[in-house]
Amino acid sequence: MTTLSTQQSKGERFAHLHAGPSAFVIPNPWDAGTARMLERLGFEALATTSSGFAFSEGRRDDPPGRDAMLEHVRTIVEATSLPVSADLQHGYGESPEAVAETIRAAAAVGVVGGSIEDRPYRDHVDTELFAIDVAAQRIAAAAQAASGLGFEFLVTARCENYLCGIPDLQDTIRRLQAYEEAGADVLYAPGLTTPDEIRAVVAAVQRPVNFVAGLAGEPFPVAELERFGVRRISLGSTLSRAAIGAFVAAAQEIRERGTFGFVADAIAYGRIDELLAA
């Protein structure tokens, strides 16, 4: 069980990572085993992935409901000593009060950060966003809830324009500025693909900006993203998709060619044992 003193320590460590001056990578495990491995590999913080979780359960990337998501998040928190930020999708409710309750519930399972999206997931329609004033009110409620937790909890505000097929950079910037004013600690617009877009977002706000690697376009190296001004680099579903890609390629080789060439690239049993050792 996570104690308040533990969360205070994790919250301070997590906030310190965002204070710079260097960019840091926050990878996204999708179960307890991958969380432990990432800690052993030297990462300093982790973030959950709703899509990676969905794939691991044999589901498409649809919101599973708050209780199911938070139980999954708990397994990640309990598997590692690292600070964990939770993918809280749209906050599991449209009202500011529902978002605030989700922040408090997430904190109760041990995370020290969480992201809130500005799309409503109505009937699985992902091509619309909340009106900017409504979205900002939801972030304000999240920030207010976080401020009353007794430890540092970073609220990440996500603008989903690009993921919803609305590549409107100026509207994205207006939204991120509104979310910053509402109290967001980190700002995030997944789907940006060009250096000019990334630099424009970074220049338009004062809070740390998160960039997701591997979502679209050619992946930028960490050093280059740092030069653009990015402070935090997440991976979303990318690691889980890389693992699934290797699995599917191996299965297809067996089924279609009757060979086992993939074995040469398989990680050694003993190495997995090392990474999972207490």
Report pLDDT digits (tens) over 232-247: 999 999 999 999 999 9
What is the number of structural domains in the chain?
Answer: 1
Q: pLDDT tens, 11-51?
A: 999 999 999 889 999 999 999 999 999 999 999 999 999 99
Strand (E) or helix (H) holding 55: helix 50-56
Q: Domain for residue 156, yes or no?
A: yes
Q: At 154, is the secondary structure helix, strand, or coil? A: strand
Q: Is residue 272 part of a domain?
A: no
Question: pLDDT tens digits, residue range 149-168?
Answer: 999 999 999 999 999 999 99
CATH number, domain at 132? 3.20.20.60
Give the domain range for residue 90: 4-236
Predicted structure pTM score: 0.95
State phi, psi for 257 to the nearest 5 degrees. -115, -15
Which secondary-structure segment (H or E) carries 156? strand 154-158
Domain membership flag for residue 245: no
Residue 125 confidence (pLDDT)? 52
Q: Assign residue 92 a region (left: φ > 0; alpha: ψ between -120 and 50; beta: otherwise).
A: left
In a domain, 186, yes or no: yes
Confidence of residue 124 (pLDDT cuts 50, 70, 90): low
Q: In what order do the strands lie in the sheet with 24-26?
A: 24-26, 232-234, 209-212, 186-188, 154-158, 113-117, 84-87, 46-47
Tell whether 56 is covered by a domain.
yes
